[in-house]
């Protein structure tokens, strides 16, 4: 099992939205490095820190689980979609997405500021200056520590 952090603006799609729907396609990723992570590295069963970006405060709010391996992001083919990309076709898809299931909320947000202050999270990608990648790997020890900071005893059973 691998561990990841996935960012979403809560005004667009929040962890509460995921709880209501149970699962969602993680569409709209338009960064090649993030696409490659989803396409090449993510597997069903991997756990995800669900991170609210562009919020006050920003931070990890809970846990999701990858429930479908990467497949073409069909929103890229739909004219009028905010994720439309004329270069992507069903025959030659450019963009990929995975499905993510809801696992749990943290009892409290683990803010970016709190993560930056915690020496146990040194080296975690999300706290690095200039790190804006919306899908990123997380070391198991960091994932476990963030879960504890959020009020969980450790990594949840998905």
Average pLDDT of the residues of the chain: 95
**Domain around 25:** 3-149
Q: Quickly tell me which residue has 């004329």 as its tokens.
A: 86
- The CATH number assigned to the domain holding 81 equals 3.10.590.10
Does residue 158 carry a pLDDT above 80? no
Q: Is residue 88 part of a domain?
A: yes
Q: Is residue 140 part of a domain?
A: yes
Q: Which residue, among 102, 96, 84, has the nearest Cα to 14 in the 3D structure?
A: 102
Q: Is residue 25 part of a domain?
A: yes
pLDDT in tens, 73-88: 999 998 998 899 899 9
| Most confident by average pLDDT, 110-114, 128-132, 152-156 | 110-114
Q: Is residue 154 part of a domain?
A: no
Q: What is the per-residue pLDDT for 154?
A: 83
| pTM of the complete model beyond 0.85 | yes
């Amino acid at each position: 099992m691998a561990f990841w952090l996935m960012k979403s603006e809560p005004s667009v799609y929040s962890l509460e939205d995921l709880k209501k729907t149970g699962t969602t396609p993680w569409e709209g990723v338009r960064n090649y490095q993030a696409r490659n992570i989803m396409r090449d590295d993510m597997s069903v069963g991997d756990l995800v820190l669900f991170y609210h970006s562009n919020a006050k405060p920003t931070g990890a709010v809970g846990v999701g689980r990858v429930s479908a391996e990467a497949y073409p992001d069909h929103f890229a083919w739909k004219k009028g979609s905010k994720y439309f990309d004329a270069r992507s076709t069903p025959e030659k898809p450019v963009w990929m997405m995975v499905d993510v299931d809801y696992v749990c909320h943290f009892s409290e947000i683990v803010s970016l500021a709190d993560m930056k202050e915690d020496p146990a999270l040194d080296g975690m990608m999300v706290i690095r200056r200039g790190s804006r990648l919306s899908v990123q790997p997380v070391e198991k020890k960091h994932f476990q520590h963030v879960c504890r900071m959020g009020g969980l005893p450790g990594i949840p059973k998905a």
